[in-house]
Amino acid sequence: MSQPNVERVIGRLMTDEGFRRRFGTSAVETLRQLVAQGVELNDCEWRALVAIDPRRVEQFARSLEPCIQKVDLEGGHS
């Protein structure tokens, strides 16, 4: 069971601006990178995470206090 990993991914989506931006650009690639780093997700969890609407994530993230947000200082520039 990888429920803690699902919770970590969702938590990171809500609090990490750079991660949220990468996920919004390519959820599949972002999750592939996490799996390559050792994050275990089963097929059901993978499908559920890929189906998350990035606009809703962004909307919720904006409602959080800035003190718990990780700001992306690169702003998407590589």
Handedness of CA 21, 10, 5, 44 (dihedral sign): negative
- What confidence score (pLDDT) does residue 75 get? 66
Distance CA 29, CA 13 (A): 14
- What confidence score (pLDDT) does residue 78 get? 43
- What confidence score (pLDDT) does residue 8 get? 94
- What confidence score (pLDDT) does residue 71 get? 72
Query: What is the full per-residue pLDDT of the chain (78 aa) written as tens digits?
Result: 478 999 999 999 999 999 999 999 999 999 999 999 999 999 999 999 999 999 999 999 888 887 777 776 666 544
